[in-house]
């Protein structure tokens, strides 16, 4: 979003829609992501997570001020990580992997919900998004909201500490390797940021996110096609 403002590549319509989408993501989706971690850990045996105040959808329990500002200005941010005690899991590695995986799943569910709203509006009022006015704002909102959720899911699934994907990777690594990654995860995170800013990782993420977005789109059309409803082609939306 900040790059759009600096380059002048924006309209009042897109800025308003994207700001609203970012606020929804900060106050609803990021807390939903962290709640998914907390709820999964709780169900797997970490009952103490309730006392830590994270078994809640209350945004105040999850919002990280820096992460929220980053989301607002650059369209990519984070919430406070959920502290999980893997000692309560029957299998700590597998339990942590499942707990980590459910965060990105929450983002994909949120993206899917946005697509269902889009298809439903299209089926009820086919000209809703093409007639201009309020419909164009809703379209811009849904596009940005869906794309950011998919991007967050894909990014978090990267097998790089401390991202969620690293916990999944740890299932397949010996304990010594896992301890090594935990010990130096800050350096891995710095390297990740450098790779993002340098460009190479951004291209990979764009490719992966595009593929994930297409898959989620195809899945979202299934119930509508089942009832003989037409849907908008993927390239017409994204």
Return left, alpha or beta for 131; rule: phi > 0 is left, psi -120 to 50 is alpha, else beta: alpha
Catalytic residue chosen out of the listed positions 21, 25, 34, 213:
34
* 18 is annotated as an active-site residue: no
Residue 168: how many CB atoms within 10 A of its CB? 19
Q: Kindly give, in sequence order, each residue whose CB lies less than 8 Å from that of residue 70, ignoring residues fewer than 6 positions away.
A: 76, 77, 78
Bridge partners of 63, per DSSP, are: 79
Strand locations in the chain (E): none
Residues 6+ apart with CB under 8 A from 136: 13, 129
Catalytic residues: 34
């Amino acid at each position: 979003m900040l790059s759009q403002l600096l380059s002048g590549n924006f309209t009042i319509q897109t800025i308003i829609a994207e700001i609203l989408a970012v606020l929804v993501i900060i106050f609803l989706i990021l807390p939903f992501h962290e709640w998914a971690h907390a709820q999964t850990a709780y169900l797997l045996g970490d009952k103490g997570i309730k006392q830590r105040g994270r078994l809640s959808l209350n945004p105040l329990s999850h919002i990280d001020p820096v992460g929220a500002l980053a989301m607002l200005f650059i369209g990519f941010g984070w919430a406070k990580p959920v502290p999980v005690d893997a000692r309560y899991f029957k299998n700590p590695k597998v339990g942590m992997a499942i707990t980590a995986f459910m965060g990105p799943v929450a983002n994909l569910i949120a993206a899917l919900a946005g697509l269902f709203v889009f298809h439903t509006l299209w089926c009820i009022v086919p000209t809703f998004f093409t007639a201009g006015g309020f419909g164009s704002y809703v379209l811009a909102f849904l596009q940005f909201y869906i794309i950011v959720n998919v991007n967050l899911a894909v990014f978090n699934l990267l097998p790089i500490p401390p991202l969620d994907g690293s916990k999944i990777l740890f299932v397949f690594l010996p304990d010594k390797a896992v301890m090594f990654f935990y010990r130096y995860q800050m350096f891995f995170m710095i390297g990740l940021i450098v790779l993002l800013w340098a460009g190479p990782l951004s291209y990979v993420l764009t490719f992966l996110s595009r593929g994930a977005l297409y898959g989620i789109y195809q899945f979202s059309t299934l119930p509508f096609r089942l009832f003989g409803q037409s849907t908008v082609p993927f390239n017409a939306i994204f």
